[in-house]
């Protein structure tokens, strides 16, 4: 502080803090401040014993503690791996205008190719970490334009691992062969550090998932080789895990077979069902269901259905079970036993009637052919010689008695007929021309007459 009087000279000065005189003298006073120096300062000048000035104006002095810088790790983790990037920041809370200096293990850090420091020292970046960067980091601040230096910040320990992290892929359950509808989960495990994001691969093709990858109902498309790796920051990645190979096969299917034969339908009132797992050489136990409710029976492949046990004739299904993979089969299609015996009996009866009817007709035809009486030789000879050529020729040469009869009747009508003709003559009568068939009949009649066979002409 400086205290002065504008007139004359030979003055001496007294100093006051909060109106309390200080043990200071001289026109100016300099001292290094402490927090206790906060207060209101003034001065007064005097010359001799009787002359003095009034007390000067007050100057209020506010003294603050020098702030301590705060060091932050911008990358959120302090255990890092080789080649990983690290960022640290240093700042004064509630104050500005500072320039910061960095220290590792209390030794000054200078910028180089792998360590970058911003101009005001607010950020320190390690572009590719190595074991040489291990240590306790701190920083201090200096106020621009003033001789004010802060204390060192609290230290932050940076740990650098010797190698990249090892990632383990855990499969649960760990069977390499599974079946459709099975569930399986994969867990990408890393036991060091934090801040990881996870990358997944199936047959080396990436797909998105988190810490876990779950398959609730496996399908054939889920067959493949699975890997994972971890990543954090902009570019750091671990090596890929060992592959977990998973094969998904179709789950065996169960089917119900009816063991009751057709020949047994008339001798039994029960049906015997068998549960069979298709195309499987494995040993199975079997569970039966009636209307989707489990039947409380021994784990047998056969199940007998009787009218007493099942009067409603329900729907039945079954499936195979094992203590090893595959633990169970696909449930069979439902099998309805309703009126099956009756339907078979009716079908067999109808089929039997049709079969024996065909046999009876066949036997009758054979018997008729065997026991039929053949025609006599005499009848055959007479039929063969009934019309021979000579007789036909003689018949065509002789006059027809019927023709002669018609002519005589026309030429010599009786008196009665003449009267009738007179009556009818006024009417016109059309006589149709004989057809070829009628002529053929006439010819046959002539032939029969020639043979003395029966047609005779009688004239009245």
Residues 54 and 96 in one domain: no
Q: Which residue has the higher pLDDT, 454 or 398?
A: 398
CB 204 within 8 A of CB 226: no
Entry pTM: 0.58
Residues 203 and 147 in one domain: no
Task: Cis check for the bond before 326: say yes or no (omega within 30 of 0).
Answer: yes
CB 321 within 8 A of CB 327: yes
CB 395 within 8 A of CB 450: yes
Instruction: Report residue 244 as tokens.
Output: 């977990």
Asked if the structure places residue 424 within a domain, the reply is: no
Q: Which residue has the higher pLDDT, 267 or 170?
A: 170
CB 143 within 8 A of CB 98: yes
Alpha carbon of residue 214 to chain centroid: 13
Reported as a single tens digit per residue, the pLDDT across 424-437 is: 333 333 444 444 44
Instruction: Report residue 425 as tokens.
Output: 């003559």
**Model confidence at 69: pLDDT above 70:** yes
Instruction: Report residue 395 as tokens.
Output: 């018949």
**Model confidence at 120: pLDDT above 90:** yes
Residues 120 and 175 in one domain: no
Rounded mean pLDDT, 216-231? 97
Q: How confident is the model at residue 305 (pLDDT cuts 50, 70, 90)?
A: confident
Residues 263 and 245 in one domain: no
Residues 328 and 402 in one domain: no
**Model confidence at 416: pLDDT above 60:** no
Closest CA to 251 of 328, 185, 198, 303: 328
Alpha carbon of residue 69 to chain centroid: 57
Q: Please report, for residues 348, 349, 358, the alpha-carbon distance to residue 354 in angstroms, rounded to integers and kept in the order given.
A: 10, 9, 6
- Residue 373 confidence (pLDDT): 61
Rounded mean pLDDT, 242-271? 82
Q: How many CB atoms lie within 10 A of CB 82?
A: 15
The percent of residues above 70 in pLDDT, for the chain, comes to: 74
Reported as a single tens digit per residue, the pLDDT across 179-213 is: 999 999 999 999 888 889 999 999 999 999 999 99
Residues 156 and 81 in one domain: yes
Q: Which residue has the higher pLDDT, 226 or 262?
A: 226
Alpha carbon of residue 4 to chain centroid: 94
- Token pair 């089917």 is at which residue? 255
Asked if the structure places residue 460 within a domain, the reply is: yes
Asked if the structure places residue 299 within a domain, the reply is: yes
Mean residue pLDDT across the chain = 80
CB 262 within 8 A of CB 338: no
Q: Which residue has the higher pLDDT, 281 or 276?
A: 276
Q: Degrees (nearest 5) of the Cα angle 368, 369, 373?
A: 85
CA 409 to CA 403: how far, in whole Å? 10
Asked if the structure places residue 347 within a domain, the reply is: no
Q: What is the DSSP string of 87-101?
A: EEEEE-TT---EEEE
**Model confidence at 378: pLDDT above 90:** no
Q: Which residue has the higher pLDDT, 274 or 9?
A: 274
- Residue 438 confidence (pLDDT): 47
CB 39 within 8 A of CB 15: no
CB 198 within 8 A of CB 271: no
Rounded mean pLDDT, 215-237? 94
Domain of 305 in residue numbering reads as 254-338
Asked if the structure places residue 109 within a domain, the reply is: yes
CA 400 to CA 194: how far, in whole Å? 138
- Residue 311 confidence (pLDDT): 66
Burial of 342 (0-12, 13-18, 19+ CB in 10 A): exposed
Reported as a single tens digit per residue, the pLDDT across 70-116 is: 999 988 888 999 999 999 999 998 888 999 999 999 999 999 999 99
- Token pair 């060192």 is at which residue? 152
Asked if the structure places residue 361 within a domain, the reply is: no
Residues 101 and 122 in one domain: yes
Instruction: Report residue 247 as tokens.
Output: 């094969």
Residues 150 and 188 in one domain: no
- In this structure, the strands spanning 86-91 and 70-73 are antiparallel
Q: How confident is the model at residue 455 (pLDDT cuts 50, 70, 90)?
A: very low
**Model confidence at 276: pLDDT above 50:** yes
Beta bridge partners of 289: 294, 317
Reported as a single tens digit per residue, the pLDDT across 312-362 is: 678 899 999 999 999 999 999 998 876 555 565 566 667 778 888 888 888
**Model confidence at 117: pLDDT above 90:** yes
Q: In what order do the strands lie in the sheet with 293-294?
A: 293-294, 285-290, 315-321, 335-336
CA 55 to CA 52: how far, in whole Å? 9
- Residue 266 confidence (pLDDT): 54
- Residue 441 confidence (pLDDT): 39
Asked if the structure places residue 18 within a domain, the reply is: yes
CATH assignment of the domain containing 218: 2.60.40.10
Asked if the structure places residue 319 within a domain, the reply is: yes
- Residue 402 confidence (pLDDT): 43
- H-helix or E-strand containing 355? helix 340-371
Residues 326 and 381 in one domain: no
- Residue 435 confidence (pLDDT): 45
Residues 78 and 150 in one domain: yes
Instruction: Report residue 352 as tokens.
Output: 């039997």
- H-helix or E-strand containing 370? helix 340-371
Closest CA to 186 of 203, 172, 206: 172
Residues 205 and 267 in one domain: no
Residues 378 and 460 in one domain: yes
Rg (CA), the chain: 66
Domain count, the chain: 5
- Sequence-separated (6 or more) residues with CB below 8 Å from residue 204: 225, 227
Instruction: Report residue 229 as tokens.
Output: 């790796």
- Residue 225 confidence (pLDDT): 98
**Model confidence at 134: pLDDT above 50:** yes
Q: How confident is the model at residue 417 (pLDDT cuts 50, 70, 90)?
A: very low
**Model confidence at 385: pLDDT above 60:** no
Rounded mean pLDDT, 241-255? 96
């Amino acid at each position: 502080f400086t205290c002065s009087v504008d007139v004359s000279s030979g003055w001496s000065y007294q100093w006051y803090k909060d109106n309390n005189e200080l043990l200071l003298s001289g026109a100016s006073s300099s001292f290094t401040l402490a927090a206790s120096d906060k207060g209101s300062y003034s001065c007064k000048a005097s010359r001799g014993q009787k002359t003095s000035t009034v007390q000067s104006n007050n100057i209020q002095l506010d003294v603050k503690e020098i702030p301590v810088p705060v060091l932050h790790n911008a990358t959120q983790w302090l255990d890092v791996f080789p080649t990983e990037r690290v960022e640290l920041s240093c700042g004064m809370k509630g104050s500005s205008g500072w320039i910061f200096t960095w220290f590792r293990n209390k030794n000054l850090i200078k910028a180089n190719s792998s360590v970058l420091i911003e101009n005001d020292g607010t950020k320190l970046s390690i572009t590719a970490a190595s074991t040489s960067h291990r240590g306790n980091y701190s920083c201090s601040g200096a106020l621009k334009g003033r001789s004010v230096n802060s204390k060192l910040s609290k230290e932050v320990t940076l740990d650098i691992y010797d190698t990249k992290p090892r990632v383990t892929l855990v499969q649960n359950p760990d069977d390499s062969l599974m079946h459709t509808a099975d569930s399986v989960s994969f867990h990408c495990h890393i036991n060091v550090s934090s801040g990881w994001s996870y990358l997944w691969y199936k047959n080396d093709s990436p797909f998105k998932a988190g810490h876990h990858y779950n398959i609730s109902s496996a399908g054939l498309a889920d067959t493949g080789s699975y890997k994972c790796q971890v990543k954090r920051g902009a570019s750091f990645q671990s090596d890929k895990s060992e592959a977990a190979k998973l094969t998904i096969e179709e789950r065996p299917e169960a089917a119900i077979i009816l063991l009751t034969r057709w020949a047994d339908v008339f001798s039994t009132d029960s049906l015997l069902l068998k549960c069979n797992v298709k195309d499987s050489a494995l040993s199975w136990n079997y569970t039966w269901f009636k209307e989707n409710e489990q039947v409380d029976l021994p784990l047998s492949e056969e199940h007998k259905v009787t009218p007493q046990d099942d009067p409603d004739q329900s729907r039945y299904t079954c499936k195979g079970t094992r203590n090893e993979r595959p633990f169970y089969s696909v449930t069979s299609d439902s099998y309805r036993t309703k009126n099956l015996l009756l339907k078979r009996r009716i079908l067999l009866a109808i089929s039997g009637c049709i079969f024996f009817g065909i046999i009876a007709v066949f036997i009758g035809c054979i018997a008729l052919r065997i026991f039929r009486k053949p025609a006599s030789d005499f009848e055959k000879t007479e039929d063969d010689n009934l019309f021979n050529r000579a007789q036909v020729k003689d018949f065509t040469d002789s006059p027809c008695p019927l023709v002669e009869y018609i002519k005589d009747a026309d030429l010599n009508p009786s008196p009665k007929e003449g009267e009738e003709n007179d009556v009818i003559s006024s009417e016109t009568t059309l006589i149709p021309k004989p057809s070829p068939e009628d002529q053929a009949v006439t010819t046959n009649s002539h032939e029969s007459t020639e043979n003395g066979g029966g047609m005779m002409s009688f004239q009245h």
